[in-house]
Structure 1
């Protein structure tokens, strides 16, 4: 049974190689994080623009429909126009509060964290620590 000779490297060479590989790994991870953050920023901009444009269109439609509903309630229920407008306004306000709460939750910073990069960085840090022991 013969034993093949192992590639003999000195400790300084091994440490130098480890440092070089760790540096390259963290550079790669930094590029990944930058790329993912850029994607998230683009996603935020596109989403924000769509929300703004949609909100403007819906606001115009809501004004027209609210006025039509006030007129319909006035005619159908035979109530004063002021009371009909108050009822319609209250319902629309409740819907608006619900929608604002939902939108605020979607834009929380925790939803915009680059999760894949953070997890990969954790794994790489653990691997470097284990190899440096």
Structure 2
């Protein structure tokens, strides 16, 4: 019979009837362990690839945000100078623009807090993990 690299016989060389239950369970455990290791390796490779893409995209978003912020500053100054040109005192024109942005920031913060309060976490994942752990522990209530 052909031997494996470890010196043992190939699992397919013996009929299932000739193999003991312990050997079958051991092979199943080895196969599951190998499958999990391969799945983890695949996940690592996919995550590494995605991480590089996310890093590049994040860098581009940061540059765009900085440029957008500069544009916002320039537009704010333009609006304030425009109000001053209409006859308002310059300090009052800049104060009006500042108060406007404070109001916008307040509304956005309020909406953001309301969205955060609606978060539920991961209820489905928690439920499925609880059921999976119960099955692995052989809990009779696992099917519920």
Q: TM-score, normalised by structure 2?
A: 0.54
**Aligned counterpart, 1:84:** 93
The Cα of 1:60 is off from its aligned counterpart by: 2.1
For residues 99 and 61 of structure 2, what CA distance do their matches in structure 1 show?
Answer: 23
Task: Assess, with a 3 A threshold, how the Cα gap between structure 1 residues 91 and 36 changes in structure 2: closer, same or farther.
Answer: farther
Choose from 56, 62, 65 the match for 1:46.
Answer: 56
Q: Rg larger in 1 or in 2?
A: 2
For residues 94 and 21 of structure 1, what CA distance do their matches in structure 2 show?
Answer: 61
Q: TM-score, normalised by structure 1?
A: 0.58
Number of positions where the alignment pairs a residue of Structure 1 with one of Structure 2: 102
Choose from 67, 78, 81 the match for 1:68.
Answer: 78
Task: Assess, with a 3 A threshold, how the Cα gap between structure 1 residues 50 and 90 changes in structure 2: closer, same or farther.
Answer: farther
RMSD: 3.3
For residues 50 and 95 of structure 1, what CA distance do their matches in structure 2 show?
Answer: 26
For residues 57 and 98 of structure 2, what CA distance do their matches in structure 1 show?
Answer: 28
Gaps of 5+ in 2: 1-14, 137-144
Instruction: Write out aligned runs for 1:1-133 (5 A).
Output: 7-8=16-17, 9-76=19-86, 78-95=87-104, 98=108, 129=136
Gaps of 5+ in 1: 1-5, 111-117
Q: Deviations over 1:48-81 (max 9, x none)?
A: 21221012211221222111101111223x2211
The Cα of 1:7 is off from its aligned counterpart by: 3.4
**Which fold has the larger relative contact order, with Cα–Cα distance below 8 Å and residues 6 or more apart in sequence?**
1
